[in-house]
Structure 1
Amino acid sequence: MKDAPNTYTISKAIGEDIVAKAMDSLPAVIMRPTIVISMWKDPIPGWTDNINGPAGSIIAFGTGVLRSIYARKDMNADFVCVDVVADNVLVLGAYSVQNQIPNKVFNISSHNQITVTWKQCQELSIKLNKERIPFDIFLWVPSGMTRNSRLMHYIDVLLWQYIPALIIDMFLPLFGYKPMLWQVQLRVMKAMSVLEFYYNNEWTFLNDASVKATAWLNAKELGKYTLSQSEIVPEEFMTNQIFGLRRYILKEPDENIPKSRRLMSIMIWVDRIGSIILKLILAYLFYRFVISKMCNLL
């Protein structure tokens, strides 16, 4: 694959190249959306039908399965909502033909519209999962770290994902359940390894050509088609996205949210108490085997 990170990027490039070569005889327009995410507002805010990309990470963090990602904290995440993509497709096709646009290649991106980093996305989704919209089923309190260091990331994964998964799998047969968390961890980390390329690189997709189409629309059309994401409020959008993942992916009814909040509150206290106990044990061991021996030597 040479320098391509995966087969997905290769297949897109090949398909685009085929269309570009046939453009002289084919009425076609090439549109390049960046990372497509859940619906913004029309017709169903938060709607999605898959867990590709950021949606899968939100579920993994929200259920306590994922605790760390290897990503550059300051990298901007260029997302575009699926309804914005659909509106751009409808408008740009007509716009390019009626205005005889010579370069029929359009980037559909959030460039100069909204800026958000991977770390901000992670922190916001975890905050909402903990405080307002927990999932019905979660293993532990949502938490996570964005690591610039691959070594620190692997240490986090080992301590807070792999080892707990193995320990829990050892006890599951005692309660009549099959071991499963280790396999879940392997699948999650495989998916995350695919995303690492995008988490640690940043591109600027100029969208000037597609933005110009906004001026071409009349007042009625401007109310019907949304071509820009400049009015997105990150917390409001993330709230709708988590609701969408609950409803359309996890099939969790909204009526369960109060119960899930109560369970989350209990788990938060269990997590705090467990953390205190662990720190006390580590402090005792440090005193018992390090400080006491140093005192004896003196």
Structure 2
Amino acid sequence: MQSVPEFYQGRNVFMTGATGFIGKVLIEKLLRSCPDVGTLYILVRPKRGQAVQDRLTELVKSKVFNKLRSEQPNFSDKLCGISGDMMEPEFGISAEDQQLLIDNVNIVFHSAATVRFDEVLRVALEMNTIAIKKMITLCRKIKNLDVFLHVSTAYANCDRHFIEEVVYPPPCDPNKLIEAAEWMTDEMLNKITPQLIGDKPNTYTYTKQLAEHILVTEAKDLPLAIVRPSIVGAAWREPVSGWIDNLNGPGGLYVAAGKGLLKISKGDPNAVADIIPVDLCVNMIIAAAWHTVVHKPKEVLIYHTTIGNENPVTWGEMEPLVMKYWKSYPLDNCFRRPKTVLMTKDGWLHNYWVVVSHLIPAYLTDLGLRCIGQKPRMVRIFEKVHKIMGTLEYFTHRQWEWTHHNRDVLLSKLSAEDKKTFYLDPRPLHWPSYIEGYCLGAKMYTLQEDLSGLPAARAHIRKLRNIRYTFNTIVVVILWRLLVARSQIARNLWFFIMGLVFKFVQNFHITSTIQR
């Protein structure tokens, strides 16, 4: 039986979404663990005046490739940039590049998507659903296509509690919606969006379900596989523990808590946080493509890449772990001292603490910045934090159960060596260690903060603590003195307490004198 590295030997791969979080790790793992793989053709969108080659050069400089770079200094020779745009007809790929793909590609990994949960329906439909139709058209032209693997999401059917490895019927015919969107104005489409998505929380999950339906109905003649990861988080083991390059999802909340910005979060602390490490997700993509070609299943297989059923951790259990590690590895220039973040399902309590702990400090800080001639920024930062909280709210209130039969079958077909190299089992993951790596990764790779600055960061935390204690003491004294000035009872209580304090100090002094 062909091993996974042997399968990829000499095969050329076309990838979309390669400049994204999952895409970078996929490139790194594929080149490092399958060193004899052929050329990786990467769809790259020119932007900000950068040509495709410039963006490719910038990509290979990423720290995610440090380990690969030490083992294969010339790994970038296997990367070939293809200029294109997911929003354009035929992906905006030139005729010459299309022919290059048609003649040479064997494997297609399609992971490009808009991951903005609040994206307008037209853009989400174009990026997540219509792009699938374009990819099917391209794949049919490829002369030696072995497998077309699509990266979906485990939440494509999040309106169900129990989710099996099947493609469920969508709420409407995707093709009819696409046709209607062509003549509808943006205003019309946005107005009917809530009715279209129904019980789903956003356009992302809705359009992902439509895409899956198109695949299994219009591309039955192609060798297909679908991988459904849950919330993709920082790396567990590879390429380095904790590697992450964005603040999407939980990572954004972790950093907000570490900066002292986040004090309250809305959700169920007893709900399972289904965060899957990115390296587990990438291993599944690589292994699922191998399984599709080598074992030739009779139907399109869906592979769930989730963790909650087998190694669960709740949002409430995760919070103290995050705060513990931020105390050990504080972030630079914290706004406030990181303390416990309260997670509650109570909407009124949440809104109250948002005003008291988030908005009032933000506006007061911006007022102070204006007074000293600096540009206000805290209100804008808190708006971003609240936006991240809003996108996760649906997922922090609920939990799901997924089946994993196809993954287990795949695991049974892997050799012992491949099981080690392309590990898929989430049960050995130790959550405290993983969260520690997640926090360190967010500090070092996302925020680009050096660990040599930890002494200064800790000193800043101590300074914030002293300021907090001083402020609280002054407020208590002022409030108390105001009460003393207005009430005889309060004055008597004040003098009584001060008398007890005086007697305690006096007795302590006498006892110390006798002992000496």
In the alignment, which residue of structure 1 is the partner of 2:16?
Answer: none
Q: TM-score, normalised by structure 2?
A: 0.53
- Whose RCO is larger (CA < 8 A, sep 6+)? 1
In the alignment, which residue of structure 1 is the partner of 2:281?
Answer: 85
Alignment of 1:1-150 (within 5 A): 1-101=197-297, 102-130=299-327, 132-143=328-339, 144-150=341-347
Q: TM-score, normalised by structure 1?
A: 0.90
Q: Which amino acid aligns with 1:117?
A: T
SS in 1 for 2:198: coil
SS in 1 for 2:365: helix
1:164: how far off? 0.8
The answer on whether the counterparts of 1:111 and 1:206 sit within 8 Å (CA) in structure 2 is no
Q: Which has the larger radius of gyration?
A: 2
The answer on whether the counterparts of 1:109 and 1:206 sit within 8 Å (CA) in structure 2 is no
1:288: how far off? 6.9
In the alignment, which residue of structure 2 is the partner of 1:170?
Answer: 367
Change (3 A) 1:216 1:170: same
Can you give the 5+ residue segments of structure 2 that lack an aligned partner in the other structure?
Answer: 1-196, 493-516
1:279: how far off? 4.8
In the alignment, which residue of structure 2 is the partner of 1:242?
Answer: 439
Q: Deviations over 1:17-58 (max 9, x none)?
A: 211223421111011100000111111211112111001001
Are 2:430 and 1:233 aligned? Answer: yes
Q: Of residues 202, 227, 233 in structure 1, which corresponds to 2:399?
A: 202
| Percent identity (aligned) | 25
Q: Deviations over 1:65-96 (max 9, x none)?
A: 12111101100011111111000111122224
The answer on whether the counterparts of 2:272 and 2:308 sit within 8 Å (CA) in structure 1 is no
Q: Tell which deviates more after alignment, 170-179 or 195-204.
A: 170-179
Change (3 A) 1:283 1:146: farther
Q: Which amino acid aligns with 1:156?
A: W
In structure 1, what is the Cα distance between the partners aligned to 2:406 and 2:483?
A: 63
The answer on whether the counterparts of 1:211 and 1:228 sit within 8 Å (CA) in structure 2 is no
SS in 2 for 1:65: coil
Change (3 A) 1:21 1:284: farther
Change (3 A) 1:212 1:137: farther
**Alignment length (residue pairs):** 293
In structure 2, what is the Cα distance between the partners aligned to 1:33 and 1:216?
A: 21
The answer on whether the counterparts of 2:304 and 2:407 sit within 8 Å (CA) in structure 1 is yes
Change (3 A) 1:206 1:279: farther
1:208: how far off? 3.0
The answer on whether the counterparts of 2:301 and 2:406 sit within 8 Å (CA) in structure 1 is no
The answer on whether the counterparts of 1:63 and 1:138 sit within 8 Å (CA) in structure 2 is yes
SS in 2 for 1:110: coil
RMSD, aligned α-carbons:
2.3
1:284: how far off? 5.9
In the alignment, which residue of structure 1 is the partner of 2:421?
Answer: 224
Change (3 A) 1:237 1:280: farther
In structure 1, what is the Cα distance between the partners aligned to 2:320 and 2:487?
A: 37
Q: Tell which deviates more after alignment, 232-241 or 155-164.
A: 232-241
The answer on whether the counterparts of 2:267 and 2:396 sit within 8 Å (CA) in structure 1 is yes
In structure 2, what is the Cα distance between the partners aligned to 1:280 and 1:237?
A: 44
Q: Tell which deviates more after alignment, 102-111 or 64-73.
A: 102-111
Can you give the 5+ residue segments of structure 1 that lack an aligned partner in the other structure?
Answer: none
SS in 2 for 1:223: helix
In the alignment, which residue of structure 2 is the partner of 1:252?
Answer: 449
The answer on whether the counterparts of 2:258 and 2:323 sit within 8 Å (CA) in structure 1 is yes
1:219: how far off? 1.7
